[in-house]
Amino acid sequence: MRAKNQKHAEYEIAKTIVENLGGMLPPRCSTEGGLISPEWGKSHEDKHAFDRVRKAANKIRNELLGKMERLRKHLPEDHVDYEGKEEKTNEDN
């Protein structure tokens, strides 16, 4: 499907990241300073480092899910994840 607008494109990018984040756990993030991973070197024995990376990944995932929810109303009406304003109002009642 062709992106109908920028918010539609943002939604699809966020959805792709969230769907693929599970395969990245434990997260291995490449940075200019090297690799951030709780399993790097002897850090597999470092429960605190593992928890930090896991919590950071969950926080990013939750932020992306929130962004997706805010973008959902801007999707094209024929999109499988579209939720119009009237649908959301009916669910609240």
Which tokens sit at 64?
């992306």
Mean pLDDT, to the nearest integer, of 22-45? 59
Q: Does residue 5 have a pLDDT over 80? A: yes
pLDDT digits (tens, 9 = 90+) for 40-72: 555 556 777 777 877 888 899 899 999 999 999
pLDDT at residue 57, as a whole number: 81
